Structure 1
Amino acid sequence: MTARDGGPVLEGPWYVTLNEVLAFVLELVAIGCLAWWGFGTDGGVVARTALGIGLPLAGVVLWGLFAAPRARVRLPLAGVLAVKALVFGGGAWGVHARGHTAAAVVLAAVMAVNTAVAETARRRARTR
């Protein structure tokens, strides 16, 4: 796994590595939450299936194009954070929409702190 500049992502103290692993798990959780929300919406089977498959697919495509360590399109930090906010926020909103507001708030907070720590560690690693 490499950073945007080609340097190793999982290099450094153990807690940085643990935060990177947590970041990956949170990405998967966000995609799963989008699917859970999509499949659980009101509407017919076609609408639920389209949302249950389409929302996570859109999240994966956005993440892969703009936010992944090997993203196809390199955005400035503000753009990367906007994409992450959209995908993570959508996942947290999906949990809220399914009736689990407290869990959504906790999930959003963990995602925000993890992203802040990960981006800070990545920026510091590039300047060394």
Structure 2
Amino acid sequence: MSAAAFALEAAALACAARWGWWAGSGGATGALAALGSAALWATTWGVFVSPRARVRLSPAATTFGRALLVAVAAVGGLIAGWGTFGAALVIAWLVVAVAEAAR
């Protein structure tokens, strides 16, 4: 995995946390929701689509799963007011995914 892909995963995680903060209306509830949504996103990523995933999927299913998780995080960011960031995340992820597939 490239450094760019790792950075995009971190950005997607930030979008998931931002959505949690927004859904929890800030404050302590928002902080707990941000932690929970980020933990759920990271756990799902780690179990199913990370390079060391516990559940082995086919390469196509892994790519689809990664795309789905990035899209979900980007939509969460969009809903929570990070529209430009979410759109940039999806575009950058597509560029990196295509570049890594071409290797």
Q: What range describes the TM-score normalised by the shorter chain of this pair?
A: 0.7 to 0.9
Q: Counterpart in 2 of 1:55?
A: 37
Structure 1 stretch displaced more, 22-31 or 65-74 = 65-74
Q: What CA distance in whole angstroms lies between the structure 2 residues aligned with 1:44 and 1:22?
A: 30
Give, in angstroms, the shift of residue 67 of structure 1. 1.2
Unaligned runs of 5+ in 1: 1-8, 10-19, 122-128
RMSD: 2.2
Richer in helix (by share): 2
Q: What CA distance in whole angstroms lies between the structure 2 residues aligned with 1:83 and 1:66?
A: 8
Give, in angstroms, the shift of residue 42 of structure 1. 5.3
The equivalent position to 2:84 in structure 1, one of 97, 102, 105, is 102
Give, in angstroms, the shift of residue 43 of structure 1. 4.9
TM-score, with structure 2 as normaliser: 0.81
Give, in angstroms, the shift of residue 49 of structure 1. 4.0
Unaligned runs of 5+ in 2: none
Q: What CA distance in whole angstroms lies between the structure 1 residues aligned with 2:64 and 2:14?
A: 20
Q: What is the count of residue pairs matched by the alignment?
A: 103
Identity of aligned residues (%): 28
**Higher Cα radius of gyration:** 1
Give, in angstroms, the shift of residue 105 of structure 1. 1.7
